[in-house]
Structure 1
């Protein structure tokens, strides 16, 4: 079960929080480790891949290598989505930060390098979205753009 403090942050609040991360250059060739979930979660992730938008935050799709229905990307530096990831340990922390974007709950994790990692909560598969330090000034726009696809493809519930 997902136990953590879930705060609804408005777009301006999160944009301010994220904007403080700063900017730097990044590699133009996106890459992402492909998760290896069980067959049920793999099917949900394949459904998500088919439902994903062509653009996120105004950025065209730019999938990472190696190509997989379990990963997707947009722009350069890429916004990276990975479906079927393991449950983050931070979900055990009742003090962990969370937010909601267009009806989808996300665990918020700020990395030491200034980038952010968001993982869906209360869904039958964990979906992870990484925003590089260069993309952090965009607030929750990417999460809001991805929410309809997540809602459509990944049912509410607890991932096993």
Structure 2
């Protein structure tokens, strides 16, 4: 149990979001490698400028693996590790052709799975997760090939 808690705490700390007044938002970028890194760079070019009414904004440090909207009320990190809480028997819903794992311990965290890279999206409660995930489906499908 302590190891699992440490992993969960580490995952929670990996998405450090500090919204500043009018400045860039701090989000800790992941460090994908190989094909996952290449696919994430393609995804970065295809992400929308607006999600669920929130405009895309800058993050710091600048990274092709991070995108934020509305002062990090929505934050995307591409190339994250497989969710530690996900088990092989979990039922994972699909939204517009993208499978999304919803972390039961963190109801605002969703991870796109079954693709070249895992894509983690944190969605603040004032946003509608389904709207955000639907808008992210097309760029994810076009940039990140499915894995077997």
RMSD across aligned positions (CA) = 2.0
- Paired residues of 1:62 and 1:78 also in contact (CA < 8 A): no
Structure 1 spans left out of the alignment, 5+ residues: 1-25
Pick 1 or 2: higher relative contact order, CA cutoff 8 A, min separation 6: 1
**Aligned partner of residue 140 in structure 2, secondary structure:** helix
Tell me what 2:119 maps to: 127
Q: Please report how far the alpha carbon of residue 65 of structure 1 lies from its aligned counterpart in structure 2 after TM superposition.
A: 1.6
Equivalences for residues 61-76 of structure 1 within 5 A: 61-76=56-71
TM-score, scaled to structure 2: 0.77
Equivalences for residues 1-160 of structure 1 within 5 A: 28-29=19-20, 30-94=25-89, 96=90, 98-111=92-105, 115-135=107-127, 138-158=128-148
**Aligned partner of residue 106 in structure 1, secondary structure:** strand
Per-residue deviation, residues 33-61 of structure 1 (Å, max 9, x unmatched): 11111122111000000011111112110
**Aligned partner of residue 92 in structure 1, secondary structure:** coil
**Aligned partner of residue 133 in structure 1, secondary structure:** coil
- Paired residues of 2:49 and 2:55 also in contact (CA < 8 A): yes
Cα 1:105–1:28 shift into 2, 3 Å: same
**1-structure distance, mates of 2:102, 2:58:** 23
Cα 1:131–1:125 shift into 2, 3 Å: same
Structure 2 spans left out of the alignment, 5+ residues: 1-16
**Aligned partner of residue 34 in structure 1, secondary structure:** coil
Per-residue deviation, residues 9-43 of structure 1 (Å, max 9, x unmatched): xxxxxxxxxxxxxxxxx963332111111122111
- Paired residues of 1:116 and 1:131 also in contact (CA < 8 A): yes
